[in-house]
Amino acid sequence: MCYSNNRLRPVMLAGTGSDVGKSMIAAGLCRIFRQDGYRPAPFKAQNMALNSYATPDGREIGRAQAVQAEAAGIPCSTDMNPILLKPSTDMTSQVIVNGVPIGNRKAGEYFRRATFDSLRREAHAAFDRLNALYNPIVIEGAGSITELNLRDTDIVNMPMARYADAAVIVVADIDRGGVFASVYGSVMLQTPDDRRRIKGIIINKFRGDINLFTKGREILEDICGVPVIGVVPMARDIHIEEEDSVSVKMKGRTAVSGKINVAVLLLSHMANFTDFDAMERDDRVNLYYTATPAELLKADIIIIPGSKSTIDDLRRIRDNGCAEAVLRARRDGKTVMGICGGYQIMGLEVSDPDGVEGEPGSVCNGLGLLPVRTILTPEKVTRQVRFTHRGSDDVCEGYEIHMGVTRRCGDAAPLNRFADGSEEGCMADGRTFGTYIHGILDNKAVTDALLAPYLDRTDARGAATDYRTYRESQYDAWAAVLRESLDIQLLYNIMKCND
């Protein structure tokens, strides 16, 4: 059976392991299909990530699927990621189904058969709704497709490919080594039926002369029985927002001269690290991540990021000396900014009467940099917002994802004002402020105001670029890399036939 010229079979990008580049390749294929006149949409049945995003209707999905939807040129929706797990501890995660939290679950409880049967039905229903509206569906797998001990409870890899009748492409990261064993094992450890669904291989993150891997391609095709669709180079000049904080390990760790130094306090439960991607591209800035007091004190600006466990992170930064370093930096005239959980940390106290993060009734003193008090609440605020910043007339955009209510005390000034006139955030002075708005640093008006006091520290005088335009250029650049690296016609032929 073959699909019509206007209808393509779903394609699944399945990994030999985590962080092999599935998310980024999915984004690139979404852009290519859009460029070629199709109306693609991304899909990942289950995502585990602290990096999430608010949909236009005020629900929550993994950031990776929001990025892929942007590459596809369509609004994101919960059908693109119906199940999201946000780890709270090594053993516990908040479970979000169709964009709404249903509670915290321990791993043993989550992997019960009854739980998975219910979640599988939700994932299938979401796929069906998405598949009725868009074509083709670009499905992303999770981790490795050969976790044999989890095969009976898997809802995101080969069982999802079976349900969607998807052509499976195995993605392998050659940079980490062992590519022949990982690809061969990923193919041959499947059941005979699932093995027949695997239609191709993509070798990702190749360094050097790709022609040197010609023999390697031939060997893989011979031992696996499927074609190598392409070898994708290590594209360090392409910047697509990453799925989770694994990529933070590769980022800067120290201050430099000749730039405005912006230190992001590296929290144990840091969430939404993509809040800083735009600032990393600003020529005026050296942005780095650190949990070292000495490195914090070298910064001109310290940003305390979002956190999945605010109280625990607050206690940890007190224990490791980072809290005192932040307070000292502020006494020395440096700027301190908090986003979401970081905003809560900067206040007078954080209380947890309902046990949202831990023991019910717990109260923890904040850093005292902002005259605000936070009460953690079971209800989650999830919404996209438009606002003006510090009295500017420029309309900015961002999104909120938080569990807690923060109230200003006394005459403290708001930082932002929403379109309806309501106030948001807190500004103790021109160099101490906090906000619940993720993506706030994607806005030129905000970054220009933040950096203004320090422009004499840098030779780069240009203003921040428009980050939305920049992201669009990166999707196009990445699509061009994939067109050069992959046999796109072969991929189309695979997606037009069902055998």
Report yes or no: 14 and 172 within 8 Å, Cβ to Cβ: no
Q: What are the residue boundaries of the structural domains of the chain, listed by start?
A: 11-240+473-496, 259-458
Nearest of 324, 309, 284 to residue 458 by alpha carbon: 284
d(CA 354, CA 397) in angstroms, rounded, equals 32
pTM for the structure as a whole = 0.90
- Other beta carbons within 10 Å of 90: 7
Low-confidence spans in the chain with pLDDT less than 70 = 1-5, 107-108, 111, 113-114, 243-252, 460-465, 498-499
CATH superfamily for domain 11-240+473-496: P-loop containing nucleotide triphosphate hydrolases (3.40.50.300)
Angle in degrees, CA 91, 267, 103, rounded to 5:
35
SS3 assignment for the chain? CECCCCCCCCEEEEEECCCCCHHHHHHHHHHHHHHCCCECEEECCEEECCCEEECCCCCEEEHHHHHHHHHHCCCCCHHHCCEEEEECCCCEEEEEECCEEEEEEEHHHHCCHHHHHHHHHHHHHHHHHHHHHCECEEEEEEEECCCHHHHHHCCCCHHHHHHHCCEEEEEEEHHHCCHHHHHHHHHHCCCHHHHHHEEEEEEEEECCCHHHHHHHHHHHHHHHCCCEEEEEECCCCCCCCCCCHHHHHHCCCCCCCCCEEEEEECCCCEECHHHHHHHHCCCCEEEEEECCHHHHCCCCEEEECEECCHHHHHHHHHHCCHHHHHHHHHHCCCEEEEECHHHHHCCCEEEECCCCCCCCCEEEECCCCCCEEEECCCCCEEEEEEEEECCCCCCEEEEEEECCEEEECCCCECCEEECCCCEECEEEECCEEEECCECHHHCHHHHHHHHHHHHHHCCCCCCCCCHHHHHHHHHHHHHHHHHHHECHHHHHHHHHECC
- CATH T-level fold of 259-458: Rossmann fold (3.40.50)
Told to judge if 239 belongs to the known catalytic residues of this protein, a careful annotator would answer no
CA distances to 26, 60, 77, 99, 402 from 54, in Å: 20, 5, 9, 9, 11
Q: What angle do CA 48, 53, 57 make, to 5 degrees?
A: 120
Q: What is the pLDDT of residue 464?
A: 59
Q: Does 259-458 match 11-240+473-496 at the fold level?
A: yes
The catalytic position among 340, 364, 396, 426 is 340
d(CA 179, CA 181): 6
Tally of residues, the chain: 499
Q: Of 268, 247, 249, 302, nearest to 434 (Cα)? A: 302
Cis amide linkage into residue 136, ω under 30° from 0: yes
User: pLDDT value at position 466?
Assistant: 82
Q: Is 340 annotated as catalytic?
A: yes
pLDDT digits over 123-181, tens only? 999 999 999 999 999 999 999 999 888 888 899 999 999 999 999 999 999 999 999 99
Pairing of strands 270-271, 306-307: antiparallel
